[in-house]
Amino acid sequence: MRALTLGPDGTYSHRAAKSVTDDIEFVESVTGIVEGVAGGEYGRGVVPIENSIEGSVTESLDALADRNVAIVREIVTPIQHALLAQTGEFDVVASHPQALAQCRNFLSEEYPSATTEAVASTARGVERAREDPTVAAIGHPATAGDDLQVLARDIQDSTSNATRFLVLAPESERSDAGGKSTVIVYPNTNFPGLLLEMLEPFADRDINLSRVESRPSGERLGDYVFHLDFAAGLYEDRTRGAIDELRDIATHGWVRVLGSYDTEHVL
Ligand SMILES: O=C(O)C(=O)C[C@]1(C(=O)O)C=C[C@@H](O)C=C1
């Protein structure tokens, strides 16, 4: 089965995708990955969704809210960044914005005069460093190859840096089986206690929410789409009951059920 993930070759997303299949193709935006799966061109897509230091990958959240796909697996992997360059003399550090943010303290303490350059992925930053001796990159140390030096290892601002990736499939493969589920709710209304009303169906049924995230709907200021992850499968009566209540609350908006799945930890 063909999978699409964030490229070029050597990104953390690529490392996560290898646990899904060997048949991997690349695109340089997470929206492109979700589109490739929603349009039926690819059987699987692997997107980063959340990092333990820097939080949500908002482009992934927004792409999931706008398109019909299923989540079939979650992959959690440790992120151990290295600083890679041709020599120790460089002016610019290029990487994915999430990686630059995860190494903010290291960069300001060790290289206060270097400027940062946001690129589409860590592997794209490594390519920049390979082409230009004035550029260093932040990425996985295995991407250094023969032409770049590993100037420093484990440069992220916390030793327990980990990123959660979602494995996406066409909507027809949505599963009711799994220990976790994700729904996205757009209530398209606003009244005192709305958020409480949306969370109570889960609390009343003893369902543990593992993440609640709000994103601007794009319709008007102060109007939100809510992303909910919880520790229960769609096969369970209590889950179906909670989602029915959400649908009643969101009669002017919508509820998107992305499916149930299990978590895998890969190195
Ligand atoms: O640029 C990469 O290597 C990616 O796979 C993207 C990404 C992200 O979006 O969070 C994945 C893991 C790390 O947290 C840093 C960057």
The owner of tokens 């958020």 is: 195
Delimit the domains of the chain by residue range: 1-79+160-171, 82-153, 178-261
Instruction: Decide: 125 in ligand 1 pocket, CB within 6 A.
Output: no
H or E stretch at 263: strand 254-265
Global pTM value: 0.94
State the amino acid at position 24 in one-letter form. Answer: I
The owner of tokens 């140390």 is: 141
Which residue among 122, 124, 266 has the greatest number of ligand 1 atoms within 8 angstroms of its CB, and so is best to mutate?
122
Instruction: Decide: 79 in ligand 1 pocket, CB within 6 A.
Output: yes
What is the SS3 assignment for 45?
A: strand
Instruction: Decide: 163 in ligand 1 pocket, CB within 6 A.
Output: yes
pLDDT in tens for each of the 267 residues of the chain? Answer: 899 999 999 999 999 999 999 999 999 999 999 999 999 999 999 999 999 999 999 999 999 999 999 999 999 999 999 999 999 999 999 999 999 999 999 999 999 999 999 999 999 999 999 999 999 999 999 999 999 999 999 999 988 899 999 999 999 999 999 999 999 999 999 999 999 999 999 999 999 999 999 999 999 999 999 999 999 999 999 999 999 999 999 999 999 999 999 999 998
What homologous superfamily does CATH list for 82-153?
A: Periplasmic binding protein-like II (3.40.190.10)
Q: How far apart, in whole angstroms, are the C-alpha atoms of residue 65 and residue 87?
A: 43
Q: Within 13 Å of residue 63, how many CA atoms lie on the same side as its CB?
A: 26
CATH number for 1-79+160-171 (one of 3.30.360.10, 3.40.190.10, 3.40.50.360, 3.20.20.10): it is 3.40.190.10
Which residue among 76, 100, 126, 163 has the greatest number of ligand 1 atoms within 8 angstroms of its CB, and so is best to mutate?
163
Q: How far apart, in whole angstroms, are the C-alpha atoms of residue 224 and residue 215?
A: 5
178-261 matches 82-153 in CATH topology? no
Structural contact between residues 37 and 170, judged by C-beta atoms closer than 8 angstroms: yes
Just give the CATH number of 178-261.
Answer: 3.30.70.260
Q: Within 13 Å of residue 259, how many CA atoms lie on the same side as its CB?
A: 21
